Amino acid sequence: MKVKQVHVRVEDELYEKLNSYSAATDQTIQDCVREAVACYVTDMRKKQREVINKQFTFIDLFAGIGGMRIAFDRSGGHCVYSSEWNKYSQQTYFANFGEQPDGDITKVKAEDIPDHDILVAGFPCQPFSIAGVSKKNSMGKATGFEDKTQGTLFFDVCRILKEKKPKAFMLENVKNLCSHDKGRTFKIILEALDELNYEAFYKIIDGQDYVPQHRERILIVGFNRDLYGDNIDFEFALTPKDPKPVMRDILIEEVADKYTLSDKLWTYLQNYAAKHKAAGNGFGFGIAAPDGVARTISARYHKDGSEILIAQEEKNPRRLTPRECARLQGFPDDFKIPVSDTQAYKQFGNSVVVPLMENVAELIVDKLKEMDSRIENKMDRQAI
């Protein structure tokens, strides 16, 4: 059996406990650690697959730090599987959910993923190669989702849908997915979902009705026609927050000086904005109004924070703290942030508006209840 080395740093207190346990059991510390990790992972997987007092099961693909998971957990779901390749996001996910997501989903066999009711995925948008498809079309050969989506991460969503046939799915992406490659990418996505026999519904939704941030994303929701037939209807009948959140709702009163922009950076941002304004462009920093909404936070926020700055009296503006970024995305205040500020900014910039996702999750769950009830009533009538 091949053995790989893993170097682990632990606190003095934990090291002393390991040392004592090692002496008591006549094992090396390495063996003690390996035994502990093996037991923990086994117990973690068992716990992950147990469904206790939950309405439905779901899987969390391209999970990030778990924004979608929070939404579906709150809607009565139980997560039976998660996947996220970024090691820092895995760290945050583990800190908050006590589960280590699988890594690269492209390496995971679809049959190894647990059965589930709803597939949830915030899949990245990649270019879809149409060269092979065009060649097949010219030869009069049919093409399916495997030809059209192979080599993209959306393909992995498709192969899991094909293998596990969940009742429903919810996919999230940037709004530009609709116009990407002159609309061809989105057309392929809808064709692939149709081929897998799912009735798909989509809408571009702005998160500013749930958090003080202008953030447009496309949501695609689908239901299994093999289970529910062809006459499926679904509406994004959302219930926005009232009153509408504003920036002052998420701000922390006392913030460390390190979040205030240096004179050098502030001068650079002002000069940069003036240069582009003179050229007729709209590029530049953004000072968020306390009673308004902010621009869209992105993964680049860690660089200079220019898209969302907070004005300060007799000081240069400051960037948001990681906790304020979490609030800007609708994460609860008990959400743990175990990583550096740089990684935290990237993670929240890549995440979802949690309360919006929760609202959509509730609509999906209600629709499934309605359709499942209809099937049960039909079966009861047939049994009489």
Query: Do the domains 1-49 and 55-241 sit in the same CATH topology, yes or no?
Result: no
CATH topology of domain 1-49: Arc Repressor Mutant (1.10.1220)
CATH topology of domain 247-349: DNA Methylase; Chain A, domain 2 (3.90.120)
Tokens of 214: 């202008």
Q: What average pLDDT does the segment 306-322 reach?
A: 96
Question: pLDDT category, 153, cuts 50, 70, 90?
Answer: confident
Computed on alpha carbons and rounded to an integer, the radius of gyration of the chain in Å comes to 24
Specify the pLDDT at position 237.
96
Residues comprising the chain, all counted: 384
| CATH of range 55-241; options 3.40.50.300, 3.30.70.1280, 3.40.50.150, 3.10.310.10 | 3.40.50.150
For 2-39, the pLDDT digits (tens) are 556 777 776 676 777 778 777 877 778 776 676 666 55
For 263-301, the pLDDT digits (tens) are 999 999 999 888 877 766 766 789 999 999 999 999 999
The residues assigned a catalytic role are 125
For 155-198, the pLDDT digits (tens) are 899 999 999 999 999 999 988 888 877 888 889 899 999 999 99
Domains of the chain, by residue range, sit at 1-49, 55-241, 247-349
pLDDT at 207 over 70: yes
Mean pLDDT score of the chain, rounded to an integer? 86
Q: What average pLDDT does the segment 340-366 reach?
A: 97
Q: What is the pTM of this model?
A: 0.82
> In the chain, what percentage of residues exceed pLDDT 70?
83
For 40-94, the pLDDT digits (tens) are 555 555 555 565 667 899 999 999 999 999 999 999 999 999 999 999 999 999 9
Tokens of 83: 């996947």
